[in-house]
Structure 1
Amino acid sequence: MTSATDWCVVAPATRIDRLEARFHGHAYSPHRHDTFAIGITLSGVQSFHYRHGHRSSLPGTVIVIHPDELHDGHAGGDTGFQYRMLYVSPALIQTALDGRPLPYVSGGLSQNDALRRAVCGLLCSLDAPLTPLEEENGLIDLAAALDASGDARRERSRVTPDRLAAARVRDYLEHHYRHPVTLEDLERLAGQPRWTLTRDFRALFGTSPYRYLTLRRLDFARRLITGGSGLSEAALTAGFADQSHLTRAFKQAFGVTPSRWRALLSQG
């Protein structure tokens, strides 16, 4: 059940999704998504399980959740917590880094001043969409700060991924997520066997082609729900078999059901 004091406000859409929310007690069930989730705690204690540990973020602490990493969310105290968060495609970070491997902040929490400034710059106001130049400069600052504060000891793959082949697959998924897609289709498009394709895609974009496709469908369904569509209509329009299929996938990706997401928006 959604508390009357729990709410969520979503900023006007650009290439970066941004939101502010407040929760008491349980916030999100364990889930994973294909974007970086990067934000800052505004008040209270924001607690979550991440990479086999329990983290607690205090006001001013930057949170960095990497793509495809399982995590949840709950209040670390009776007063609840409030935060702002942005969700950034790994492709945007990699483009800003000119194709270098994705940076990695292993602990999930950071006190790095440059990273905090970059995050706050993109989250300073949620009332209006970011201008193209504001967004582009903010992404460059964010990518540079992540790269500088990342864990340099993380083992990198010795195999250079095929960026062009993976990008062709990503672009195809971006434009065909509402239609059936097979791995054979993607193999032909990439000119690679499925194992190579999946390995390169994950290295460059942080998740598998299948999860990337599922998340594009979920993003579309979430926009439909936010715009007032019914859950069943949103499920079918976005390419899911039915409403129950959407509900399972939605909770796995975002940690809440579609109906709770709709309720949180109505209270924001």
Structure 2
Amino acid sequence: MQENSVRGIERTEHLAPGVAGGLERSCKAGFADGMRIAMPSRGVERIEARFHGNGFSPHRHDTYALGLTLHGVQTFRYRGAERFSNPGNVIVLHPDEVHDGAAGTEDGLIYRMIYLPPELIGAVDGHRTALPFVADPVVADSGLWQALADILGDLDADPDDLIMDDVVMRVVAGLYRQSGAPRKVVTASAQTAVLRARDFIESRCGELVLSETLEAETGLDRYDLARQFRLLLGTSPHRYLIMRRLERAKRSMAAGGGLADAAADAGFADQAHFTRHFRKSFGMTPGRWLALRRGTG
């Protein structure tokens, strides 16, 4: 791990000036807990998290969570084992895998993450193959590290399409390189059905969506749809629906809306129902998320 840390520092020092400045400024002692959240672009969220002790309770996303440890020791439980990452490592968390997050030392932890929707990963090869799965969530991969540094180096800038496309292509190459498994081909009919179900769920995310409706929309029975949906998008139709509702609620809260209004607008039964799902998906309550976002956590 020490060797990885040294390599990571060396790579940071040799980044382009804008990238190096963005990452090096993050690594300073005596910091307060908080989160910086970049404006989402093309469904992609980028954050910087700074905290001491336990940061997140067990939770799971429906995106790939990819990140760089910048300061301290990043520790988390993932797929039944305790994991550790030092500066220079790349974190790779697969959609729908439960994990938590904590600072491994009293010095605290600073890291940056990008949350890439599985459909963006799948689009690189036209959704013709199943998603790549990287078993080890802490890897040393210089190509993957540089691709993430290029997109995480400046959280204040909104990356244009050309930058995002290039980074996503390089990230996908790194994920398949680290997965070490042959790509599993998905049939054209299954691909069409899953993407149709995805579009339908997104257009109705504030409403009740029934299995019968998705069967009628896609031509697949509910069990085959669930199986093919997970191959291409990394999660179930139900979880995909819940996460779209949570995204809508987060946008409402970030714009100054109250928790109860955000919950109702997103389609949750009540604020308690919303809070339960928020905690399961992000590892903290909506109130805690808002406080960290404002730097008052």
Q: TM-score, normalised by structure 2?
A: 0.85
Distance in 1, matches of 2:96 and 2:119, equals: 14
1:115–1:149 Cα contact (<8 Å) kept = no
SS of the aligned residue for 1:105 comes to coil
1:97–1:144 Cα contact (<8 Å) kept = no
Distance in 1, matches of 2:143 and 2:130, equals: 20
SS of the aligned residue for 2:148 comes to helix
Instruction: Return the letter of the residue paired with 2:202.
Output: E
Residue in structure 1 matching 2:245, options 211, 217, 239: 217
Matched, 1:12 2:21: no
| Offset of residue 94 of structure 1 | 0.9
Residue 141 of structure 2 corresponds to which residue in structure 1? 112
Distance in 2, matches of 1:109 and 1:158, equals: 27
Matched, 1:152 2:181: yes
Please identify the structure whose Cα radius of gyration is greater. 2
Distance in 1, matches of 2:273 and 2:220, equals: 30
2:130–2:184 Cα contact (<8 Å) kept = no
> CA distance change for structure 1 residues 159 and 11 in 2, over 3 Å: closer, same or farther?
closer
Q: Percent identity?
A: 45
Q: For structure 1, list consecutive stretches of 5 or more residues without a partner in the other structure.
A: none
Deviates more, 1:165-174 or 1:100-109: 100-109
Matched, 1:123 2:152: yes
Instruction: Return the letter of the residue paired with 1:6.
Output: D
Correspondence 1:229-244 to 2 at 5 A: 229-244=257-272
Matched, 1:96 2:124: yes
- State the Cα deviation string for residues 88-118 of structure 1 (Å, max 9, x = none): 0111111113322211210101101111111
Residue in structure 1 matching 2:70, options 42, 55, 77: 42
Matched, 1:76 2:127: no
SS of the aligned residue for 1:73 comes to strand
Instruction: Return the letter of the residue paired with 2:196.
Output: R
Distance in 2, matches of 1:267 and 1:116, equals: 28
Q: For structure 2, list consecutive stretches of 5 or more residues without a partner in the other structure.
A: 1-30
Residue in structure 2 matching 1:65, options 93, 116, 129: 93
Residue 274 of structure 2 corresponds to which residue in structure 1? 246
2:48–2:112 Cα contact (<8 Å) kept = yes
Instruction: Return the letter of the residue paired with 2:38.
Output: A
| Offset of residue 138 of structure 1 | 1.2
- State the Cα deviation string for residues 67-98 of structure 1 (Å, max 9, x = none): 00000001101111000000001111111133
Distance in 2, matches of 1:62 and 1:254, equals: 20
| Alignment: residue pair count | 263
- State the Cα deviation string for residues 140-178 of structure 1 (Å, max 9, x = none): 11111211222327xx76874710000000011111101
Matched, 1:169 2:197: yes
Instruction: Return the letter of the residue paired with 1:235.
Output: A
Distance in 1, matches of 2:109 and 2:148, equals: 18
Distance in 1, matches of 2:241 and 2:191, equals: 18
SS of the aligned residue for 1:162 comes to helix
Residue in structure 2 matching 1:178, options 178, 182, 206: 206
Q: CA RMSD in A?
A: 1.5
- State the Cα deviation string for residues 157-208 of structure 1 (Å, max 9, x = none): 6874710000000011111101111111111101111010100001110000
1:174–1:216 Cα contact (<8 Å) kept = yes
Give every structure 1 segment of 4 or more consecutive aligned residues whose post-TM-superposition deviation is greater than 3 Å: 156-161
SS of the aligned residue for 1:56 comes to strand
Distance in 2, matches of 1:46 and 1:264, equals: 18
Instruction: Return the letter of the residue paired with 1:102.
Output: L
1:32–1:71 Cα contact (<8 Å) kept = yes
